[in-house]
Amino acid sequence: MLRKPQITGHGAKLPRKMEEAIVALLSHRNIEDAAKAIGVTPKTLMRWMKDPVFDADYRKARRAAFAQAVARLTQASGAAASMLVKMMLDPATPPSVRARVTDSVLAHCGKFMEIDDIEARVSEIERNLEAQKQQGEGR
Q: What is the pLDDT of residues 63-74, one digit of tens each?
A: 999 999 999 999
- 34 contacts: CB under 8 Å, gap ≥ 6: 21, 24, 25, 27, 28, 45
Q: What is the pLDDT of residue 136?
A: 85
Is the alpha carbon torsion for 110, 113, 119, 123 positive or negative? negative
Confidence check: pLDDT of 51 > 70? yes
Q: What is the pLDDT of residue 14?
A: 81
Mean pLDDT (the chain) is 90
Average pLDDT over residues 95-103: 95
In the DSSP assignment, the letter for residue 10 is: T
Q: What is the pLDDT of residues 9-38, one digit of tens each?
A: 445 568 899 999 999 999 999 999 999 999
Confidence check: pLDDT of 4 > 60? no
Q: What is the pLDDT of residue 11?
A: 54
Average pLDDT over residues 72-88: 94
What's the pTM value of the predicted model, to 2 decimals? 0.58
CB distance 98 to 88 below 8 Å: yes
Q: What is the pLDDT of residue 12?
A: 59
Q: What is the pLDDT of residue 8?
A: 45
Q: What is the pLDDT of residue 137?
A: 81
The larger pLDDT score, comparing residue 55 to residue 9, is at: 55
Distance CA 16, CA 7 (A): 15
